[in-house]
Each structure stands twice: as structure tokens, then as C-alpha cells.
Amino acid sequence: MHHRATSWRLSRLAVPSLLLLLSACASDPITIAPQPPAKYEVLGKAEGEGCGSLGLLATAYNFVPMGINGRVEKAYQAALSSVPGATGLINVEIKENWAWWIIGTMRCTTISGDAIKGSQP
């Protein structure tokens, strides 16, 4: 009976510990595109991409971020730059793509939307 009680206590500790170890990392929500001004002119479609890598030595050890954290900001700025005179985006869409390479993964974020230029009141 004592062996069964000890086993029960160990399993009660093991399951929450395993869940804690398997939980993923998370970050705070971010605003990709700021609120548009009250008056603006739509200039056309915009799209931009930002990429980064994750990994080093082998794909099983994807722990070394290389330019991965700023890829959303890079994609947004690239989208703004794709339309001359654009000061913001509306109707924003975000897409994530990734691919394996020899020592890690390449992760790319694409942001698209309607480029706008704010007008003076």
C-alpha cells in the first residue's frame, strides 16, 4: 500500500512539472499598425517582408535568435517604403512563413495592406 501512495504522489507532481516544462514562451501583444488619422488618402497596395533565423549547429537546437525579433517592424517599414509618400497602413494582413536550412530555420513575416497618407485638417 505504501508503494502505491508514493507512486500516486510522484505522478501528481510529475504531470504539473511536465506541463510547466512543455509550456511555450509568449510575449505581450504589440500594435503592428498605428491608428490611421481622421483624414487620409489611400495610395495603393503595399507589401513588405522581414526575416530572421533561429538555430545554430543543428535544427534540434533552435535556441540562437539571429535577427528574428525585429522582423515584424522590418516588414512594416518595408511595406511603407514600397509606396512612395506612405505614412501608414490600413487593412493590415500579416503572414508567417518558415523554412529549414542546414543549421536552423529561416522565419519570414510578410505585412500587406493599403498604404495611406495622412492629410491635414
Q: What CA–CA distance (Å, rounded) separates 39 from 49?
A: 27
DSSP summary character for residue 55: -
Domain boundaries, the chain: 31-118
Q: What is the pLDDT of residues 58-106, one digit of tens each?
A: 545 555 566 677 888 899 999 999 999 999 999 999 999 988 777 777 8
pLDDT, residue 98, reads 85
Domain boundaries 31-118, corresponding CATH code: 3.30.110
Share above pLDDT 70 across residues of the chain, in percent, rounded to a whole number: 62
pTM over 0.85: no
What whole-number distance in Å separates Cα of residue 99 and Cα of residue 86? 31
- What's the confidence (pLDDT) of residue 100? 77
Tell me the mean pLDDT in the region 31-46. Answer: 88
Which grid cell sits at 78? Answer: 518595408
Model pLDDT, residue 44: 96
**pLDDT of 44-68, one tens digit each?**
999 999 998 877 655 455 555 666 7
